[in-house]
Structure 1
Amino acid sequence: MIWGWLAKALLAGAMIAAIAELGRRLPTVAALVASLPLVSVLGMVFLWHARPDAENMARHSEATFWYVLPSLPMFLAIPWLLRHGVSFWAALAAGCALTVVLYGLMRLVAPKLGLPI
């Protein structure tokens, strides 16, 4: 069990390291690779391997879609803050804080809208 977990962690870490290295040379290409839902796809593969249940996978995939939406404004807030003189770490913290707030709002609003999260 620990070996499977370690393999998953190493794979995810290698993906992040590769994107960071690519970003040093080709930032736009690295952004494209980072925007791909690689972690979500790998997560679904690992989940399917652990529990091959179509309904469970459908719920997981659909909830993932709805949770991606509140994370998107962070990718507009950070560059806006950086271009207006805010330091990288402060902009990153503000972007993350914005995402946390929007996740909280999603958790409050989603049941009222009948969203499956």
Structure 2
Amino acid sequence: MVERAYVDELLETYVLSLAGLDQCPDIVADEVKSRLTANVERAEQAFAQAVADGLDGGTDGLRNAVRDLADANETVRSAFHTGRSIGDLLVDLERATAQAGRVLAAGRA
């Protein structure tokens, strides 16, 4: 993968987090909505930082972190397609966003 592909994975995490918030039913508890909103903000920040600062694409640590992020994004996509509950989806979204943070850390190492 090249650096752009790394940033693309962070963009996908952000877009998936937006979709999670958009798909959230009105009847969901305020705590869940707040967590979804906070997750969108963290995913957006990770993407923006990657775009602004770039990522050092030459390290094995970064390549591994991006591979793990791609796997986490796939888990979220699968959750959308199988109609998993918003609570389960939220956990997957938060995991993907946390992994996006690890990508940023590895890209600065």
- Scaled to the shorter chain, the TM-score interval is 0.3 to 0.5
Choose 1 or 2 for highest CA Rg.
1
